[in-house]
Amino acid sequence: MTMTPTSQTVVLDPKSNVPGVRAPGFPDTLRAEWIKFWTVRSTFWSTAMLFVLGAGLTALVCALAAKDIASGAAGESAGSFVTWGMMIAQITAIVLGTLVATSEYGTGMIRATLSATPRRGAVLAAKALVISSTLFVVGTVTAFAGYFAGNWFLSREGVGLALSDDGVLRALFGSGLYMAGLGLFAAALGLLLRHTAAALSAVLALVFVVGNMAWLLPGTWGEWIAKAMPGNAGSGVATPVSFNPNLLGPWTGFAVFAGEVAVLLLVALVAFRRRDA
């Protein structure tokens, strides 16, 4: 009698029945993203530049404008200047947010990341938590440092602001919120484009160029489009008194901005799950 071997194939899980091996959970993914984020030089230099630009420029502008503010020649209140440097520091937040998403595509490390953690939603959530928490803390600390430094010059001219004055604390913590939101916005667009230069160009153009050009659109609809642009909607929360009185209210504008960030992150997640690494 002849025995015929069967052609049945058995597929074994390489991690099954292997002592000490378990699937990575979200804490492991978060720890891995935190290590990757803080072990590259660009993170240190970008956060350092955020502080230098945010706090340093606020102090410098307050020092130069204090006398004009006191005399009324500046045409603006002191509240418009105590977080002035954060308008420039937001560039570094955009850079950090972009790099956290695109740098792995440039080096090819994204393949190793997805091999270790196949759950792409967890990878995106970990990246988002790392970049947003970092930028919130650094942005808030920078805003407070800039306020204390700049307010010293304003107080010498009798136009200083107390922390208890209307909008001051909101603007200082709002600066951290706005930096975190910008980082998430840039990360989402970076994940969609998967190219650092392209993502940086797109976000900077939206925030600094298109956002300002939109005010030239005619009619009420043009005004509302301009108000809803990411940089215009989100930035109001980061200053006690905005230079532009046509912006949405601080928290209303930030809610619009947060909604835009959430939608873009959702689109990025769908694309991230469907595309190859």
**DSSP one-letter code for 248:** P
Q: State residue 97's pLDDT score.
A: 94
93-120 pLDDT, tens per residue? 999 999 999 988 888 888 888 888 888 8
The whole-number pLDDT of residue 145 equals 96
- The more confidently predicted of residues 18 and 111 is 111
- Kindly state the average pLDDT of the residues 197-216: 91
* Residue 169 scores a pLDDT above 90: yes
- For tokens 């769908």, the residue is 270
Half-sphere exposure of 210 (CA within 13 A, CB side): 13
Contact 157, 67 (CB under 8 A): yes
Residue 20 makes CB contacts below 8 A (sequence gap 6+) with: none
Which pLDDT score, from 0 to 100, does residue 126 have? 94
pTM recorded for the entire structure: 0.87
Q: What is the pLDDT of residue 22?
A: 63
pLDDT digits (tens, 9 = 90+) for 182-203: 999 999 999 999 989 999 999 9
Parse the chain into domains and list their residue ranges.
26-274
Instruction: Using pLDDT thresholds of 50, 70 and 90, give the confidence band for residue 256.
Output: very high
State the average pLDDT for the chain.
88
Q: What band does 19 get if pLDDT is binned at 50, 70 and 90?
A: low
Angle at CA 43, nearest 5°, toward 255 and 187? 40
User: How is residue 266 written in tokens?
Assistant: 């959702």
Q: Which residue has the tokens 């020649």?
A: 73
Q: List CB contacts of 216: < 8 A, sequence separation 6 or more.
A: 222
pLDDT at 21: 56
